[in-house]
Amino acid sequence: GLDGVVCAPGEIELIRADLPDDFFYVTPGTRSPGGSGNDHKRTGTHAQALAAGSSLLVVGRRINQAADRRQAAAEVLRELREATA
């Protein structure tokens, strides 16, 4: 009866085959290439999460802890555009 699940980028492919095509995947722990995992143990890049089928990326620290949040958000958006090009 679930519509979606929260899962790490590398876990989407493990569960995707057993779930409906319209299932929703919320993916925390995504990072920019070369970014720190901080306290997350199962991370991946934004591009990896999108390629695996993530529906929604949770991008928190990359923007919230940046000295220039606007610039950090712009960089994440650029990475996402490049990943979907």
CA distance 32 to 55: 17
- The architecture (CATH level 2) of 4-84 comes to Alpha-Beta Barrel (3.20)
* Residue 10 φ/ψ, nearest 5 degrees: -75, -10
pTM over 0.85, yes/no: no
Q: What is the mean pLDDT of the chain?
A: 86
Give tens-digit pLDDT for 3-33: 999 998 889 989 998 899 999 999 987 877 6
